[in-house]
Structure 1
Amino acid sequence: MKERASVFLIGPRASGKTTLGRRLAEQVGFDFVDADAYLEKDRGRRIADWVVQDRAGFRQAEASYLPLWFDQPGLVVALGGGIVETESAVQELATYSRVLGLRASLAELVARQAGGDRPALTSLSLEQETEHLWRRRLPAYERACQGRWVDTGGDMQQAWQRLWKAFLLFFGESNA
């Protein structure tokens, strides 16, 4: 592949950033970075605990890694769903041309999260929280990905095909 500029995936929890990001990285021969896992390892803190204990500190730390990843070629980076809670991160992502937003229906996002161990971010029910966060974050997601959305609803194979098609459309590359 000639162009090795990294690709960033954003979107709500359970939109498929990690699952599809791994596959995209494999397809194009890039390294995969799950931002949450990277932060946990680098900072020695569980994200679930960190978000509950110091959400602002977590968001600041999360955003501080963007320049590091922007400067490294050949990465597919799955960012946390709340990265857009930090305005500086939204601004940085909006100026970087290789950002894709992943989204699915609210019902699908809720179903994918049910029974998981992710901490609640509000006092709302899972359904209400998912909708509340989506509505609140949508304008920031839009700015960060510049309208480059991929529907990841339904079967993961179909979601993968849509992601690959979008990758080729927006970035004009193929590993074939």
Structure 2
Amino acid sequence: MPRCVLVGPPGSGKTSTGEALAGLLGVAFVDTDRVVEQAAGRTIADVFVEDGEPAFRALERDAVAGALEEADAVVALGGGAPVDPATEPRLAGHTVVFLDVGIADAAKRIGFDRSRPLLAVNPRASWVRLMNERRPVYERVATHVVDTAGRAAEDVAAEIATLLDGGA
């Protein structure tokens, strides 16, 4: 079972925080977006364009199921993964950290480029809509909520490591 599963919207710092946290804990890091890209042999954006969102979500569902079997790892889920009806129940029993962030910080981190298909049209409005839809799920599955706004990944990782240790 993974030491920790990170969830949150695009730009919350799941990958950078996950890499830093895995380094602090001395465990592997698994990013399900990377797993999907490796399985598909293409970028997520290409999967969306060529095969559609349902095909991407099926690949993502498989990647998440596999990642949740990883022993001693930090796992970062794609932003929409927890919303999948098959994935949400799989998160029960795991230590899940919701990396919360506002749009200002998210925009600085990801720049709303075309590599994020769900944000390609009117990125700011799309991000706000996605966050409003997904926040209740992120909060429901979370064991802990950590605000990443204005913080370096290393600082967020240190806070999570303390939480995992049973600290404040």
The answer to whether the Cα contact below 8 Å between 2:3 and 2:73 also exists between their aligned partners in 1 is yes
Q: 1: CA distance between counterparts of 2:142 and 2:78?
A: 14
| AA aligned opposite 2:147 | D
In the alignment, which residue of structure 1 is the partner of 2:110? Answer: 113
Show CA shifts across 1:61-93 (max 9, x none).
211223322222111111111112311111211
Give how far 1:124 is off. Answer: 4.5
| AA aligned opposite 1:86 | D
Give how far 1:40 is off. Answer: 1.0
Match of residue 21, structure 2, among 12, 20, 24: 24
In the TM superposition, 1:133-152 aligns within 5 A as 133-146=130-143, 148-152=144-148
In the alignment, which residue of structure 1 is the partner of 2:68? Answer: 70
The runs of 4+ residues in structure 1 deviating greater than 3 Å are none
Q: 1: CA distance between counterparts of 2:93 and 2:115?
A: 29
Show CA shifts across 1:19-62 (max 9, x none).
11101001101011121112111221211111233111211221
The answer to whether the Cα contact below 8 Å between 2:119 and 2:127 also exists between their aligned partners in 1 is no
In the alignment, which residue of structure 1 is the partner of 2:165? Answer: 172
Give how far 1:122 is off. Answer: 5.7
The answer to whether the Cα contact below 8 Å between 1:6 and 1:70 also exists between their aligned partners in 2 is no
Deviates further, 72-81 or 52-61: 52-61
| AA aligned opposite 1:61 | L
* % same residue: 30
| AA aligned opposite 1:33 | V
- Structure 2 unmatched runs, 5+: none
TM-score by length of 2: 0.87
Q: Secondary structure at the match of 1:72?
A: coil
Cα 1:130–1:101, aligned 2, differ >3 Å: closer, same or farther? same
Q: How many residues align?
A: 166
| AA aligned opposite 1:83 | A
Q: CA RMSD in A?
A: 2.2
The answer to whether the Cα contact below 8 Å between 2:61 and 2:87 also exists between their aligned partners in 1 is yes
| AA aligned opposite 1:84 | P
Cα 1:21–1:123, aligned 2, differ >3 Å: closer, same or farther? closer
Match of residue 44, structure 2, among 37, 42, 47: 47
Does the alignment pair 1:161 with 2:158? no
Greater RCO, CA 8 A, separation 6+: 2
